[in-house]
Amino acid sequence: MKIFYDAIIIGAGVNGLTQAAALMHAGFRIAIIDQAQANTDLSKGYDLRIYAINHYTQQCLAQWGIWQNLDAKRITTYHQVNLAFHTDTPSLYLDAHDDHEANLGHIVEQKNWRNAAIEALESSELCDFYWQSTLEGISWVEDEAQKYVSLTLNPHQTLHAQLLIGADGIQSKVRTLCDIPLKQFPTKQTALIFNIHIEHSHHFEARQYFCPQGIIAFLPLADAHHYSMVWSIPDDQLWIKDLPDEALASELQNICHRQWGEIKVISTRQAFPLIQRQAQRYIAPHIALIGDAAHVIHPLAGQGANLGVADAAELTQQLCRARTQHRALGSLSVLRAYERARRSAAWQMMGLMDIFQKLAENRFMQKASMATIPWVNKLTPIKNILTRFALYDFTK
């Protein structure tokens, strides 16, 4: 007997799972496939992969039943972002209260987000999981009744759906099998991620330094003595990546002027070459790409997964509209509206990241910031515009 779904999602990363929850919430019958096993163990300290998530993402997660399932003790709510264009210059303080916001966002570990989404999906009969299954091939079928896609998986299994959603990350197999080309923009930087313990409380403040050693983000974890670090290291400073733990901590001490007392590196590290990428098309007949399969942006503003959640929201909205109008879910006319909305949003974000990165590398900007930041700190309306950028919320 044929196993047939409204939509099949390849990839149970945060974006694939969130897309699944959105479609399930809208009443679609779905399957989610991942080559890995569900990893649900939160007991081994803080995850290395964390996400700063904006207000829109939080609202979506709440609407689709994920936010309620998060382990609340492990979520950080942050109220202040402190940006410095050089370690010796004054910093720019963005404060949620200045803009009458309750907070500037939340920090959530990848495992916490994935666990919460899996719990929401497992509670429904509308969703089937295929763990440890890899996508091998896609064929497009047209029979008397309808057009659809058939997928072959390894271990062998054949599934059918009106729509296949590629949420399979940077090396997307869905994108490759559909011959969708990529535009790539290397940034000449490598991101290094690790966690640190600090002696004094971080007071739930996120901090980012733009300095010759790179762009260094301190992201507060739920316990006031832990930071998650994202250090975007320029190619000519890559020696930093291989420093022993004590030397890496001491490099950080110099940058932050021992602000939090002793620093200890308490985790392993992961390094990622940073390349901004955009799929030239987000769609093909019966196919849509979302998340990193469609676009990869510089992590300096922590917006990659947020963009993926906005993709999921837009695609769900278009599919609901198609269902109401009795149109085929996988038809190009339905999918084009999704692509139009989301490709331009990703382009804008990539352009913005490129500008920020170039400004950060510019010596003149570093000097200018020293002179202007004390004034900007006193100008609430200008700071509120910058806060909207930090929240990626230009609609308010």
Ligand X SMILES: Cc1cc2nc3c(=O)[nH]c(=O)nc-3n(C[C@H](O)[C@H](O)[C@H](O)COP(=O)(O)OP(=O)(O)OC[C@H]3O[C@@H](n4cnc5c(N)ncnc54)[C@H](O)[C@@H]3O)c2cc1C
Q: Single out the residue of 26, 29, 35, 176 in contact with ligand X (rule: CB under 6 A).
A: 35
Smallest distance from ligand X to CB 303, Å: 5
List Cα–Cα distances, 237 to 211, 232, 242, 314, in angstroms: 11, 10, 10, 40
Number of chain positions touching ligand X (CB under 6 A): 32
Interatomic CA distance for residues 132 and 303, integer angstroms: 28
Residues within window 262-281 making contact with ligand X, judged by CB under 6 A: 272
Smallest distance from ligand X to CB 281, Å: 17
Q: Single out the residue of 8, 165, 193, 346 in contact with ligand X (rule: CB under 6 A).
A: 193
Identify the CA nearest to 231 among candidates 221, 242, 222: 242
Interatomic CA distance for residues 341 and 236, integer angstroms: 37
Establish if 34 lies at the interface with ligand X (CB under 6 A): yes
Interatomic CA distance for residues 229 and 184, integer angstroms: 25
Residues within window 214-233 making contact with ligand X, judged by CB under 6 A: 230
Among 6-14, 22-30, 242-250, 315-323, the segment contacting ligand X (CB under 6 A):
6-14
Smallest distance from ligand X to CB 77, Å: 15
Q: Does residue 292 contact residue 170 with C-beta atoms inside 8 Å?
A: yes
Helix or strand run (H / E) with residue 139: strand 134-142
Binding to ligand X by CB under 6 A, coded x per residue (else -) over 59-98, reads ----------------------------------------
Q: Single out the residue of 9, 10, 104, 252 in contact with ligand X (rule: CB under 6 A).
A: 10
Report DSSP letters for 366-380, one per residue. HHHHHHHHHHHTT-H
Name the residue nearer to ligand X (CB basis): 91 or 208: 208
Binding to ligand X by CB under 6 A, coded x per residue (else -) over 308-347, reads x---------------------------------------
Backbone angles phi, psi at 218, to 5 degrees: -105, 110
List Cα–Cα distances, 4 to 16, 161, 173, in angstroms: 19, 5, 21
Name the residue nearer to ligand X (CB basis): 89 or 130: 130
Written as six digits, the tokens of 204 are 């739930």
Written as six digits, the tokens of 329 are 């879910």
Name the residue nearer to ligand X (CB basis): 46 or 366: 46
Name the residue nearer to ligand X (CB basis): 275 or 337: 275
Establish if 167 lies at the interface with ligand X (CB under 6 A): yes
Among 27-35, 66-74, 98-106, 358-366, the segment contacting ligand X (CB under 6 A):
27-35
Among 92-100, 163-171, 233-241, 316-324, the segment contacting ligand X (CB under 6 A):
163-171
Identify the CA nearest to 130 among candidates 21, 41, 66, 37: 37
Interatomic CA distance for residues 87 and 101, integer angstroms: 28
The one-letter code for the residue type at 335 is L
Establish if 234 lies at the interface with ligand X (CB under 6 A): no
Q: Does residue 69 contact residue 353 with C-beta atoms inside 8 Å?
A: no
Q: Single out the residue of 222, 284, 305, 346 in contact with ligand X (rule: CB under 6 A).
A: 305
69 forms beta bridges with none
Name the residue nearer to ligand X (CB basis): 215 or 322: 215
Instruction: Give ∠ CA 202-191-294 in degrees, rounded to 5.
Output: 110
Instruction: Give ∠ CA 220-226-232 in degrees, rounded to 5.
Output: 60
Q: Single out the residue of 7, 13, 207, 221 in contact with ligand X (rule: CB under 6 A).
A: 13
Contacts to ligand X by CB under 6 A: 10-16, 33-36, 51-52, 134-135, 167-169, 173, 191, 193, 230, 272, 291-292, 299, 302-306, 308
